[in-house]
Amino acid sequence: MSSLSVTGQPKLSLILPFHNEAGILRDLFQRLYPALSQLGLSYEIICVDDGSTDKTYQALLREREQDLRIKIVRLARNFGKEAALSCGLRLATGLSAITMDSDLQHPPEIIPELVAKWQNGAELVYAIRKNRDTDSQLRRFFSHAFYAIFQKIADIKLPEGAGDFCLLDRKVINAVNALPERNRFMKGLVTWVGFHHETVPFEVAPRPRGSSNWNFFHLLRFAFDGLSSFSTLPLRVWTWSGGLVSLIALTYGVYLTLRTLIYGADVPGYASVMVGILLLGGLQLLSLGMIGEYLARVFTEVKGRPIYFIAEQIGFDDKP
Ligand code: UDP
Ligand code: MG
């Protein structure tokens, strides 16, 4: 049967990034298989072990003993989920690919729906999260704020609730693979390349085991990575605020000069001077910091280092 073939081009590549998910792995595959066998398509499962320090890699090897469609890549260290996904997309040979989290927060049961939309002509199918109940209040607030700001100032429109659970047609995979940047904000890149997209809603499940690999500062940095890759507004806004502040200062200067000419000099004004200095000092530091953020990213890009290094890859016929 073609869906069991190990060689040849599969119809679907499932890409799963793993970072210390040994405890969940068995459950994951147990839920994946019913969903995948329902498709009646040939598929490969590309598991990217992103520098796990637990037994994830060994557990993946055990899974492969049962099923040769499982292909395993072990990255040389933890490069982050975005790098792991980029690696998976480059190694994928399918006519389409699905990227999803391996912690079972993305339900494998909706894979058939994603595939159906693809078969009906969509080139990009986003799974959109309906609920954020599994996130803390604070995380929800920031996530919402992020989307709101992103929609306003970035050059692309991210569908709210779209994450890294999506299906990409071969055309989109090739487009994303062709992007050379090191700063890989995947959902932004996938949206940026364009193509006809559709959405499928899903409920996010709580993490059955383990804990999220992200903390607040990671998320904040991730959010700014995303913004800075797709908008230069944070850089340009200072020109306008600088102009505005100068204009106010000039007006105030004229007013002070006239007042002194008419009423003579007096010395109050300590407060206004302090406020002026502090405000301008703050603005200058902020704008300098913003330039620094972009400069740091330019620096990373200019160095041109590879996005990841592969330590081991198992099950891929042609090794790069
Ligand atoms: N992940 C990864 N590398 C990392 C962090 C996470 O490959 O450095 C994987 C992780 O194993 C999971 C997915 O990315 O499959 C999402 O991670 P997590 O659940 O920590 O993120 P959240 O769901 O909180 O966004
Ligand atoms: Mg998760």
Q: Which ligand has the shortest distance to the CA of 24?
A: 1
Minimum-distance ligand 1 atom for the alpha carbon of 21:
11
Ligand 1 and 56: CB distance under 6 A? no
51 and 79 Cβ atoms separated by less than 8 Å: yes
Residue 210 has what pLDDT?
Answer: 64
Q: Residues within 5 Å of ion ligand 2 by Cβ?
A: 103, 105
Ligand 1 and 187: CB distance under 6 A? no
pLDDT under 70 in the chain at which residues? Answer: 1-8, 132-134, 208-211, 213-214, 271, 318-320
Residue 1 has what pLDDT?
Answer: 38
What are phi and psi for residue 191, nearest 5 degrees?
Answer: -70, -40
Domain parsing of the chain, residue ranges: 12-213+306-314, 233-303
Residue 91 has what pLDDT?
Answer: 93
Ligand 1 and 300: CB distance under 6 A? no
Closest to 100 (Cα-Cα) out of 40, 64, 46, 41: 46
Minimum-distance ligand 1 atom for the alpha carbon of 80:
8
Number of H helices, E strands in the chain: 10, 8
Query: Cβ of 286: how many Cβ atoms within 10 Å?
Result: 14
196 and 123 Cβ atoms separated by less than 8 Å: yes
Measure 214 CA to ligand 1 centroid, in angstroms.
7
Strand order across the 124-129 sheet: 197-202, 124-129, 162-169, 96-99, 12-18, 43-49, 70-75, 310-314
What CATH class has 12-213+306-314? Answer: alpha beta
Residue 118 has what pLDDT?
Answer: 93
Report d(CA 289, CA 307) in Å as an integer.
25
Ligand 1 and 105: CB distance under 6 A? yes
